[in-house]
Every structure is written in C-alpha cells, then in structure tokens.
Amino acid sequence: SQCLNRHMGDQETVAREVNAWQNDRNNKESRINWQFTTKESRVKLKRLYPSFND
C-alpha cells in the first residue's frame, strides 16, 4: 500500500509511512519495466523535450 487512500495527521506520520513503503520497495528489489528505448522515447515524448531554435 502506498498510503494514498487515507489522511495522515502529521508530517512525522507521513515520514514514517513513506520510509516503511520505501524500505518495502527496496527489499523487494522492485524494477521498472521500460517498454521503449531512449531513442524511441525521444520520438514518443518529443513534446516534453525542450526545443532550441537558432
């Protein structure tokens, strides 16, 4: 659980919950399965890259 479905009363609680979530993710060695290469991303996400005009 990512703690996104409830209110947390204070910053200390948020920090504790985030640390627990992060430790769990790290212990599971979670990975991102990228579906495209860097070159393909530049085409698919072109609008997000800055363009410099001379």
How many Å apart are CA 30 and CA 49, to the nearest integer?
Answer: 27
3's torsion region: left (phi>0), alpha (psi -120 to 50) or beta? left
Q: What is the CA radius of gyration of the chain?
A: 18
In a domain, 1, yes or no: no
Domain presence at residue 6 = no
Q: Tell whether pTM > 0.75.
A: no
Residue 22 lies in a domain: yes
Range of the domain at 28: 11-48
pLDDT in tens, 1-54: 565 677 888 999 989 988 998 999 889 987 888 788 888 988 888 888 887 776
CB 18 within 8 A of CB 3: yes
User: Has residue 5 been placed in a domain?
Assistant: no
In a domain, 15, yes or no: yes
The structure tokens 């530049």 sit at 42
- Looking at the structure of the chain, the number of domains it has is 1
The answer as to whether 20 is a domain residue is yes
Q: Is residue 21 in a domain?
A: yes
